[in-house]
Structure 1
Amino acid sequence: MLVKYKLLFILLFGFGILYSQEIENDPDYIKTVILKPNTVNYYAPIMKLGQLFTFSFDDLNADERDYYYKIEHCDIDWNPSNLMESEFLNGYAEERIRDYENSFNTLQYYTHYSVTFPNDDTQIKISGNYLISLLNEDEEVVLTRRFVIYKPEVTVAVAISKSRDLKYYDTKQAVEFTINHSNFTINNANDEIFPVILQNNNWQTAISGLKPQFYRGTQLLYKYNKETSFWAGNEFLYFDSKSIRNPTLNIGRVELGRELYHSYLYTNNERIDQPYTLFEDVNGNFIVRILNNDNSSTDADYSWVHFSLESLEKLGKKEIYVSGNFNNWQLNESNKLTYNLDTKLYETKILLKQGFYNYQYVTKTVDGKISNKDIDGSFYQTENDYTVIVYYKKFGSRYTEVIGVGYGNSTKLIN
């Protein structure tokens, strides 16, 4: 049953499901959720208006269930905006996902689902923050993901520097940026412009609430340092499971279990007291890939990937997690490490599809504070991606637009 008429039902009968609430943890049977533009080597769900992007996932139930997507327009704080569906898109906000295919020749059976936007049923027509929700056949929300649509009205120049605070000179990176609006009228930048800074496209550490410090013609200058500083962290760790039967990059051994393969990574040592070492990564992202086959969407298998960490740090009541974009940076029981008294290591295992993965070890306090430096330290030399998203809400407007996006990388420090 299609759900495109459910909104009318809610209006008539006065009740319904609150789809706008973000789901913090994905269900165990949904894996490898990807939301990204159809551009090679680009992983962040930040797209120009009209640009093609794809939402895909695997269902390990492998029974060809009916799934639907629902798209909602949000304000800058990711709450639902007051717009009618017809104001932010052409077509339908909800529709069934019709493109699906079962896995082929894999030990782990799954059904791979995929939908590309814009499509014949749904075309987004204004910029802003959006939530895409996955609904099951009972119209229950299975998972949600954020994405940003922008219309390039302004340009954003981004520069990265070391912290000016001597206490953090070797451990933090600061973001400076300039908004050029020569072809776009801004009447009151203090009340209309709201920039947000992301490090490696991770919303958990986003910085917002910044006002322009200087004005130069049609330029807004944000020369903050302390207020726009991020812990630089360390380079992401990585492994490559494209050959599921044999050890490859950073995989010590592979064993065939009762049902699936088990990939045991080499034990990681804490790096907080070690010298910084440069090696290439993809800043927390992952790429599904396999050897000798072109269709990794349905031919890639799943294996249990075993992580182990040797750490002597006194963490108190802090918990340790394996973190990365492979599960949307979520910290939950599925990627939490526990201490093994026999091996004297922190350990966990995660079911992952074949591919190249970046990951890091982060800690979380009892009050939810997350740190990427307790285990692996923080070094100003670390290569990080930074994104500045420019939100604009004109006085009297009913919604917040995104009028520009700028990018910077810490390989080019300005000091």
Structure 2
Amino acid sequence: MKKIIFISFLLTASLSSFSQALETTPPEYIRTIQFQGNAQFSGTPIIALGETLTISFDDLIGDEADYYYTIEHYDFDWKPSNLAKNEYMEGFDNMRILNYKNSFNTLQIYSHYTLSIPNKNTRRLKVSGNYMLKVFNNDKELVFSRKFMVYEDIAIVKAEIKRSRNLKYIDTKQVVYFSVDGADRIIFRNPDQNLKTLIIQNNNLQNSIYNLKPQYSLGNELVYRYDQKAAFWGGNEYLEFDNKDVRAATMNVRSIQLKDIYNTYLFTDKNRSYDPYTYDPDINGQFKVNTIQGEDPTIEAEYTWVHFYLANYEKLNDGQIHIYGNFNNFNIDKSTRMIFNPKTEVYEGKRLFKQGFYNYKYVLVNPDKSINEGFNSGNFDETENQYTILAYYREIGGRYDRIIGVGSANSRNISN
């Protein structure tokens, strides 16, 4: 019987003290979860009502196990909403995932599963808001769960990125100014209580700002021009490696060895926090599966142990260094930890990755479980980051929180 080992914890930058429903991180035999809407890269999908949602994952046991899914609706604070299932979904869930294929010509066997919504059973999602997709095994044990959002295109959400007005942080933080305009399509009543907002940096829910209150209004447009309350650390561009070719070293790959499976050894990384900022285009922590040894990367890409090396001489103060990125939904677990090797005097770690192009960075996890993303890479106001703003609204007498608009801005266009 497959046992579910890890329960995730959300390390969320939140301005309110509500307790959120937690995503369940998968066991070690579930790998390469890709959850996406119409965007090119995986992450936390944010889709318009009626758009398609797709999730895929690999089971490294490769025994064609049966998996089932359910969909649950949540309010803004990630507590279950008061809606019955037939009020937010047309059709049925708790159905088996029927679309799967076995790996072909790979050293590591695996079964690749794909689920798209809508489908013949779950015909459509009827309302906007927060959702959780849960995947169960044949013993009705929860294997993993992932959040996603569905929005209605009603309100106009405009945003721009500014440098901090606090001179202490002017070179290290990025501030999100935004507004929510109901125009002539919706009239906001009691917006301090009924309108809620969420700001997400680089599609990472674990680094988000919740529930800012509007500062003032211009007609039916609500304006948010906070400084420190809407400020994010700028961070630095992500590091990257590309191991789509297991026969030769490629981007940031020092060497490759074939043991029981392929082992990929990266070049040693260093502390970047004292270096001047250098623009190096990244994909903001995301990843893309790829291989040049086959035609279908979903089933022909190899799994390889990727070995990381970090020369760090900063004191950890009882913290731990971890690799960080969307390859595991920005979670911290034992597979991401870096251990100091006194013989080489560098921190070393290894993790199993499917072939492809990956972004990653090194972060410090403090004893209180908070994450310091800039510990090893620094924080710079010039860093390219993508910000997404969601506006939630519950009408007077409403029974759930609708997402009525989504806006975005990129720090490439930062200004004073």
**TM-score by shorter chain over 0.5:** yes
Q: Tell me which moved more, 311-320 or 351-360.
A: 311-320
Maintained 8 Å contact 2:23/2:147: no
- The equivalences for 1:18-57 within 5 A come to 22-40=22-40, 43-57=43-57
Q: Which amino acid aligns with 1:30?
A: I
RMSD (CA atoms): 1.3
Q: Secondary structure at the match of 2:106?
A: coil
Q: Which amino acid aligns with 1:189?
A: P
Identity %: 43
Q: Which amino acid aligns with 1:200?
A: N
Distance 1:42 1:104 in 2: 23
What is the match of residue 215 of structure 1? 217
Q: Which amino acid aligns with 2:317?
A: G
Distance 2:361 2:116 in 1: 30
Distance 1:99 1:332 in 2: 29
Distance 1:108 1:98 in 2: 22
Distance 1:131 1:22 in 2: 10
**CA displacement 1:92-147 (0-9 Å, x = unmatched):** 13211000000001011000000111111112110010011110001110001010
Distance 1:61 1:89 in 2: 32
What is the match of residue 119 of structure 2? 119
**CA displacement 1:153-212 (0-9 Å, x = unmatched):** 111111001111100110000000011111112112111110110111111121112111
Q: TM-score normalized by structure 1? A: 0.93
Q: Is 1:190 paired with 2:192?
A: yes
- The equivalences for 1:213-362 within 5 A come to 213-257=215-259, 259-291=260-292, 293-362=294-363
Distance 2:304 2:131 in 1: 33
Maintained 8 Å contact 2:41/2:287: no
Q: Tell me which moved more, 281-290 or 36-45.
A: 36-45
Maintained 8 Å contact 1:25/1:332: no
Residue ranges of structure 2 left out of the alignment (5+ in a row): 1-19
Maintained 8 Å contact 2:21/2:78: no
What is the match of residue 11 of structure 1? none
Q: Which amino acid aligns with 2:234?
A: A
- The equivalences for 1:169-188 within 5 A come to 169-182=170-183, 183-188=185-190
What is the match of residue 203 of structure 2? 201
Maintained 8 Å contact 2:24/2:146: no
Q: How many residues align?
A: 395
Maintained 8 Å contact 2:293/2:301: no
Question: Shift of residue 316 of structure 1?
Answer: 1.1
Q: Which amino acid aligns with 1:45?
A: P
What is the match of residue 89 of structure 1? 89
Distance 1:406 1:146 in 2: 19
Maintained 8 Å contact 2:35/2:42: no
Distance 2:104 2:54 in 1: 22
Q: Tell me which moved more, 135-144 or 198-207.
A: 198-207
Question: Shift of residue 214 of structure 1?
Answer: 1.5
Q: Is 1:131 paired with 2:132?
A: yes
Q: Which amino acid aligns with 1:62?
A: G
Question: Shift of residue 292 of structure 1?
Answer: 5.4
**CA displacement 1:15-58 (0-9 Å, x = unmatched):** xxxxx963443200000001101443575411111111201100
Maintained 8 Å contact 1:85/1:93: no
Distance 1:400 1:237 in 2: 37
What is the match of residue 384 of structure 1? 385
Q: Which amino acid aligns with 2:272?
A: R
Distance 1:353 1:85 in 2: 36
Maintained 8 Å contact 1:72/1:93: no
What is the match of residue 4 of structure 2? none
What is the match of residue 71 of structure 2? 71
Maintained 8 Å contact 2:272/2:376: yes
Distance 2:35 2:82 in 1: 25
Q: Is 1:106 paired with 2:106?
A: yes
Distance 1:246 1:43 in 2: 29
Question: Shift of residue 405 of structure 1?
Answer: 0.7
> Cα 1:198–1:114, aligned 2, differ >3 Å: closer, same or farther?
same
Distance 1:228 1:342 in 2: 44
Distance 1:402 1:107 in 2: 45
Q: Secondary structure at the match of 1:411?
A: helix
Distance 1:57 1:396 in 2: 40
Q: TM-score normalized by structure 2? A: 0.93
Distance 2:95 2:243 in 1: 34
Maintained 8 Å contact 1:24/1:330: no
Q: Tell me which moved more, 36-45 or 351-360.
A: 36-45
Distance 1:287 1:274 in 2: 28
Q: Secondary structure at the match of 1:176?
A: strand
Residue ranges of structure 1 left out of the alignment (5+ in a row): 1-19
- The equivalences for 1:6-17 within 5 A come to none
